[in-house]
Structure 1
Amino acid sequence: MKVTLLGTGTSQGVPVIACECPVCHSLDYRDKRLRVSVHLEVNGKSFIIDSGPDFRQQVLRERIKKLDALVFTHEHKDHTAGMDDIRAFNFSQHKDMPVYAEERVINQLQKEFSYIFSGINYPGIPRVQLNPISEEPFEIEGVTFTPIRVQHYKLPVLGFRVGNFTYITDANFISAEEKKKIKGSDVIVLNALRREPHISHFSLSEAVQILEELQPKQAYLTHISHLLGFHAEVEKELPEFIKLGYDGLQFNC
């Protein structure tokens, strides 16, 4: 499996509009963070988890020519706002795009993108095939996705394990039972918003503590805000097996 981190930023991205902090003015390309998303290539199949506001830019940057399904972790705008741009794949692949999400998330997508589901079928609108999921494992094109239930403050969110790779974003709590599903992953991507505690995201120290408990061979941090600090400086503080993710980072697992 080849994994590409399409975006590693928080809901505002980095740099933040109108912000004058040193991180937002950094010249290090690793400090430029689009909204969080990931691309998986598994056995010739192509999947993207979350299509935020930067979806089009991310897909063009990585030259993704094929997409077999779009999977959603939850309904927040920084994870769903770019779904309209799947219509380019409708045109090139001549089929509806399979979309996988919880019922609650599907209901929100139908509100946010009401023109897709109105029944009017205006020419050029995205064409989607909705597939409700739960906490049970499911298959897409022969590839098994195992949902990981986490909490984003009071909002239930799904992470996903695919093979030996686990991806969790927008979380501040993972139960012991759900950690059992993650155990044994070779690579884990986990959110770490900033140094200070946050009501709905893991802080840097909290994320490190969880990763030290789960002990993957390699871990990357994502959903990073400008408040965390410079990529180059923060990474020096981390245990050897943990690194900061950055936009465009690719690895195999």
Structure 2
Amino acid sequence: MSNGFGIDLTNISWEFCKTRAFLAPTATLIPIYTVCLACFDQFLSTHYNPFFRQKSSIRLAKYLTFTFITLLILHGIPFVIFFDLQPSMTCKNYNVRFGQYYSFVYYPVVVGILPMTIASLFSFLAFRHVRHLVRRQLRITRRRLEQQLTAMVLARAICLGFLMLPYTIYRIYILNVTVDKSQLVLSAINNTLIESVTVTFLYINFAGNFYIFMVISSRYRHQSDTVPGTYGSQFDALEFKYVKHLSAKDVFRNAASSGCIEANGISPFVSMDTECE
């Protein structure tokens, strides 16, 4: 609404301002660091040391996911505290020190450099481990599964880096550039255009999982083709039974209305279009 109609509820309602200040960083960081956790889990599951492979479990995944979500929720609390409408009736941060963290740490490091480094490091290490799977005595199906999972995680980490890198560079550029007063309007126009493009890439990062996995994994494509077909056949069977049931009811109702049904029986009739004899 703010972009299309110029109506920004965060600048009107105190509740909307606080809610958006909390949800924006929290909802942004949770998917990003979930990719980092997936890369770390794949690093453990493909490790040549049995001790590290045993650590890759559903229990550890749940524990790490819960821990990171809790930390990111706690990380969003200062945004609720320091973002406010007063005194300019604009929902933004009015604390100087938190503004320094927001500009110099949150965008360049927490959103950009840190997750890209973690995801790239563990996905690359997992890829190295997969190349040595031939030396380990594993079943062919298990080996292919590990290779496909590692390829999916590696592709997701690469896309994470490429899609987030432009926005990270833009934020670092904004922090270090000095603009002449005579060029303020032109600089604002250019910065708005660059920000729109880089933010679009950032949004694609959250919506591209399905397409990345479809391109990389043949097993994923097969499952995507099989599951809708299975449910589709079930729905077709239910629809056939429902239509068949309705058709039987229509036949019975037409026969009754035409007088073909007596008190304790149905009089014979030749066809649906003929009347009862």
Relative to the length of structure 2, the TM-score reads 0.21
Q: Larger Cα Rg: Structure 1 or Structure 2? A: 2
Higher relative contact order (CA 8 A, sep 6+): 1
User: More strand per residue: 1 or 2?
Assistant: 1
Relative to the length of structure 1, the TM-score reads 0.22
